[in-house]
Amino acid sequence: MEYKSNNNVVYSCKYHVVWCPKYRRKVLANGVDVRLKALIEEVCHEYRIDIIEMEIMSDHVHLLVEVDPQFGIHKAVKRIKGRTSRILRQEFPWLTTRLPTLWTNSYFVSTVGGAPLSVIKQYIENQKNV
């Protein structure tokens, strides 16, 4: 397993994130998908979020990312969705006529990787014996 670190935390926090356009409309096509991918890469680079995998479907986005726990996954998703919505609606005006906002307020997130819970529990239990 590969770990990352900032000045005071060593971590491995990987998340699978999925979100949809408002009303699950199939608007992420016809160039919007290509531009969205570029914008997500730009935002992630700016906030030092590592993209492990990314897929843009016509009606939803899948991201597999590694995020510094001090920054947080919620803040990461909020920044990505906020910036991409603003810029895409400026660059593709037809998005503003079809949708009141580009993204829904909600998203799915799940942690990924790491050791099984039983192994972590055993590790913690054995710390007293070290």
How much is the pLDDT for 87? 98
Positive or negative, the CA dihedral 98, 102, 106, 109 is positive
Q: What distance, in Å, lies between the first and last C-alpha atoms of the chain?
A: 22
Neighbours of 84 (CB within 10 A): 22
How much is the pLDDT for 35? 98
Domains, the chain, ordered by start = 10-129 (3.30.70.1290)
| Cα 83 from Cα 39, distance rounded (Å) | 8
Active-site residue, 47 included: no
Residues of the chain with pLDDT under 50: none
Beta bridge partners of 64: 16, 53
How much is the pLDDT for 122? 77
How much is the pLDDT for 126? 78
How much is the pLDDT for 36? 98
| Cα 53 from Cα 67, distance rounded (Å) | 13
The pTM (predicted TM-score) of the whole model is 0.87
